[in-house]
Amino acid sequence: MITVYGIKNCDTVKKSLRWFDAKGINHKFHDFRIDGIDAKTIEGWLAEVGGKTLINKRGPSYRNLSDGDKAVLENDDAAAAVILAANPTVIKRPVVDFGTTRTVAYDEGCWSELAEA
């Protein structure tokens, strides 16, 4: 089962969910705000895709973090996972879990390939 992670009021997440629906690809939605997310899952994402890909530095949630938290996000994946679990809106959206592979951000070309595999 494909899982789309994000927040329901994010325009990119809405666009992603519409794309999966339009293609008839079976998926479920995991809302960070309602369902939460644990640090262990995020640590795995960081190990797979890296902080530069996973962390959204453009949004207000990132700008509102303390300088200390921002420094941790740059230097320590285990500690960064704890900060991201407590502040999931700092995670770039959507994160799409295909079971063996994760993608970050809107990428219908990659999704098409992974959904067919």
Q: How many residues would you count in the chain?
A: 117
Q: Choose, from 2, 3, 10, 82, the residue flagged as catalytic.
A: 10
Evaluated on CA atoms 94, 39, 49, 102, the torsion sign reads negative
Closest CA to 115 of 27, 5, 14: 27
Task: Locate 32 and state its tokens.
Answer: 């960070």
Asked if 55 and 62 touch (Cβ cutoff 8 Å), the reply is: yes
- Let me know if 110 is a catalytic residue: no
Name the residues annotated as catalytic: 10
